């Protein structure tokens, strides 16, 4: 699975959009971009995933650049409960459970 690069930490004001970048310049054509988050001391939680089109669900939006070398996770109206470590992961669709976690981005939502 391709390696990803994320900023170590970010801050965002409550109610504003949180935009979390991820670089995955070595991504292969059959690899998806997945986002998980880990709220303190809990198990990682799935957020969203995509291949090449932008995706949106009830939690977030995922914007993938046309060359697929980077992506941005958008939390449209961040709340204090969104404070967590966010992991960007690339993996082959249908592959075995070989998620490769980096250190992620520690997002702090400030009141």
Partner 1 sequence: NAGVTQTPKFQVLKTGQSMTLQCAQDMNHEYMSWYRQDPGMGLRLIHYSVGAGITDQGEVPNGYNVSRSTTEDFPLRLLSAAPSQTSVYFCASSYSGALNTIYFGEGSWLTVV
**φ, ψ (nearest 5 deg) of residue 80:** -60, -30
The residues in 13-52 that bind partner 1, with binding defined as CB under 8 A, are 41-46, 49
Residue 96 is a binding residue for partner 1 (CB under 8 A): yes
Q: Are 48 and 59 in contact (CB under 8 A)?
A: yes
36 is written with which tokens?
């998980």
**φ, ψ (nearest 5 deg) of residue 89:** -135, 140
> Between 53 and 97, whose beta carbon lies closer to partner 1?
97
Q: Name the segment binding partner 1 (CB under 8 A); options: 9-17, 53-61, 70-78, 100-108.
A: 100-108
> Between 89 and 109, whose beta carbon lies closer to partner 1?
89
């Amino acid at each position: 699975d391709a390696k990803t690069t994320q900023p170590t930490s970010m801050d965002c004001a409550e109610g504003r959009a949180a935009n979390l970048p991820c670089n995955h310049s070595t991504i292969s054509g059959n690899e998806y971009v997945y986002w998980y988050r880990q709220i303190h001391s809990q198990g990682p939680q799935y957020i969203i995933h995509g291949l090449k089109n932008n995706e949106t669900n009830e939690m977030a939006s995922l914007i993938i650049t046309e060359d697929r070398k980077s992506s941005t996770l958008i939390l449209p109206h961040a709340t204090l409960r969104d404070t967590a470590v966010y992991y960007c992961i690339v993996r082959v669709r249908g592959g075995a459970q070989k998620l490769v976690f980096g250190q992620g981005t520690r997002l702090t939502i400030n009141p």
